[in-house]
Structure 1
Amino acid sequence: MKTYYKTIILSDIHLGIRNSRVKEAVDFLSHHKCDTLILNGDIIDGWQLRKSGEWKKKHTSFFRIIMKYMHKYNTKVIYLRGNHDDFLDEILPFSFGQFIIKRHHILQSADKKYYVVHGDIFDTVTTKLKWLAKLGDIGYTFLLWLNRHYNHYRTKRGLPYYSLSQVVKAKVKSAVSFISDYEEQLCEVAAANHCDGVICGHIHQAADKTINNIHYLNSGDWVETMSALVETENGEWNIVYYNEWLQQQTPAETTYTTVQNTATYFPSLTPELL
């Protein structure tokens, strides 16, 4: 039986990079249904596909389930442009039936309004210094690769997991300051647009908090945290982590095997890596 939500929001799937957890994203969507599905940026990683990426069957399967949502459940699908799928700039705004592509969206949730945006426009590295952002993206991909192989070595020797990304984050004090400033700027924009909250992605760090009387929500990503935002019929918002959800399912209900909780292993890194 599929779980119903009024709204489901996913972001930062990064289709095209090796570390994209697209199979898990498809599995999650296949067990749920909703009235509105918001894909909040960086769904397709155009940067990687331009370089050396390859479009695979699993990427097509993601969009097949999106089409199933529209056809079977009459779901409205809103795709918001991110920095890694900036190729969408050439067709914005775009609308075809239940499918809409645009930069931002105002979402009515119960008696509140939310400003929904990917969030890269408030990151000066990705907007003004794209060459530096892409250089950081290479570093991020390398760190994921190094972390995977290093911990494979440790596992073979019976050693516990060791997160290289935590070490990196601990040594870069500006990371915490950046995230705090980023969140505050988004909340200021929400207030300026007469909204009660803001919903974003971009920094790969799921969150549900209140900042200066503005409800701040971040959907996380499907590279590290594997998380989604869901809205119930009464306007209540929750963060759903794929691995926690998977553990609650019976074997007959699951279609994908359990994977390691990368939210623990890959905490959000510096803005230059996003």
Structure 2
Amino acid sequence: MKKRKIELAVISDVHLGTYGCHADELIAYLNSIQPKKLVLNGDIIDIWQFSKRYFPSSHLKVLKKLIGMASKGTEVYYITGNHDEMLRKFSDTSMGNFKIMDKLVLNLDGKKAWIFHGDVFDVSIQNAKWLAKLGGYGYDLLILINSFFNWGLTQMGREKYSLSKRIKNSVKSAVKYIDNFERTAADLAIENDYDYVICGHIHQPKKEHYENKYGSCVYLNSGDWVENLTALEYSFKRWRIYHYNHDRLSPFFVDEDLKEMDMNELIASITNKDAEIEELTKDIQTERAKGLDNQGFEQD
């Protein structure tokens, strides 16, 4: 597969070692890109819920892939989150192109990007970690139930449904928490003269411009690989949110016009192009034959 060359990719909240992790889809995404820098923005391995009884080979392949990318020249930054906080004792450790840290500041075409997981804003983690861990187990159970529910919907030919998204969007306190999280991150970024602030943690992919009386910044969230299957990509001085379910065919598209075509149109355009090339080849061969004939050579 042809790889897309990008400056920077950011993924977070993979939660390897849990039932909700979409490891196969993440491997497919990582195989489709060739980034100069890759930021793993927290909760990549779910150490809170780690169990020897459940760590499938596909989850192990993700770790091997990340190490392999670092060995082939990609700068990989592992930023610790709350679910993998045990790795914070190794902060500022470097192993070749692989670095572990708690936060990261990058210069992107003259603009400063402040990258951290975001659990520092979570009061429940700071003051009642046991409650946050209990919530993590509950969330994983909900995802597991949801997977069986979606299997049934798929068998009936219906679209998949996210129970956790429905609950989050219907509970006012959850909506308010997310809004406060984003606003707090943006305000702190503006206060410290950062142009971009990039977080994970809340599993809500987003790109939004924020302003206050002191200035402005762009807030970005890489989402997760449990429900949304999203990443952030930076190239040609622009940010975009990558959605696996919608963008997984993007390596096969040359430009956005082709991306808008349905599969039948794409096949038809390729078929027509092949026919045009074949016709052009015949014309060239005919002209060459005429040229040889004019120079006095016999034709077979």
Coarse TM-score class (shorter-chain normalised): 0.7 to 0.9
| Structure 2 counterpart of 1:45 | 46
- Picking from 223, 228, 241, the partner of 1:220 is 223
Deviation at 1:155, TM superposition (A): 4.4
Distance 1:47 1:2, change over 3 A: same
SS at match of 2:145: helix
**1:47-97 residue CA offsets vs partner (Å, 9 max, x unmatched):** 111x5653332222112222222222x111100000000111222221122
Matches of 1:221 and 1:243, distance apart in 2: 13
More contact order relative to length (CA 8 Å, sep ≥ 6): 1
- Pick which of 95-104 and 59-68 moved more: 59-68
Unaligned runs of 5+ in 2: 253-300
Matches of 1:35 and 1:205, distance apart in 2: 25
2:61 partner amino acid? S
SS at match of 1:46: coil
1:229 partner amino acid? L
**TM-score (normalizing by structure 1):** 0.84
* Conservation of the 8 A alpha-carbon contact between 1:115 and 1:193: no
Matches of 2:121 and 2:29, distance apart in 1: 29
Distance 1:5 1:247, change over 3 A: closer
Matches of 2:64 and 2:106, distance apart in 1: 25
| Structure 2 counterpart of 1:29 | 30
Indicate whether 1:239 and 2:241 are aligned. Answer: yes
Matches of 1:100 and 1:192, distance apart in 2: 27
Deviation at 1:188, TM superposition (A): 2.1
| Structure 2 counterpart of 1:70 | 70
| Structure 1 counterpart of 2:105 | 106
Distance 1:52 1:171, change over 3 A: farther
Distance 1:55 1:115, change over 3 A: same
Indicate whether 1:149 and 2:148 are aligned. Answer: yes
| Structure 2 counterpart of 1:131 | 130
Report % sequence identity.
37
Distance 1:59 1:192, change over 3 A: same
Superposition map of 1:1-274 within 5 A: 1-49=2-50, 51=51, 54-72=54-72, 74-157=73-156, 161-212=160-211, 213-232=216-235, 234-248=236-250
The number of equivalent residue pairs is 247
Matches of 2:153 and 2:234, distance apart in 1: 40
Deviation at 1:170, TM superposition (A): 4.4
**TM-score (normalizing by structure 2):** 0.77
Q: Judging by fraction of residues, say which structure has more helix.
A: 2
Larger Rg: 2
Matches of 1:56 and 1:151, distance apart in 2: 21
Cα RMSD of the aligned pairs, angstroms, is 1.9
2:220 partner amino acid? L
Matches of 1:13 and 1:19, distance apart in 2: 9
SS at match of 2:184: helix
Matches of 1:185 and 1:245, distance apart in 2: 30
* Conservation of the 8 A alpha-carbon contact between 2:4 and 2:251: no
- Pick which of 150-159 and 24-33 moved more: 150-159
* Conservation of the 8 A alpha-carbon contact between 1:198 and 1:216: yes
SS at match of 1:48: coil
Matches of 1:170 and 1:71, distance apart in 2: 41
Distance 1:210 1:149, change over 3 A: same
Matches of 1:53 and 1:128, distance apart in 2: 30
Deviation at 1:123, TM superposition (A): 0.9
* Conservation of the 8 A alpha-carbon contact between 1:17 and 1:53: no
* Segments of 4+ moved more than 6 angstroms: none
**1:23-51 residue CA offsets vs partner (Å, 9 max, x unmatched):** 111111111111111000000000111x5
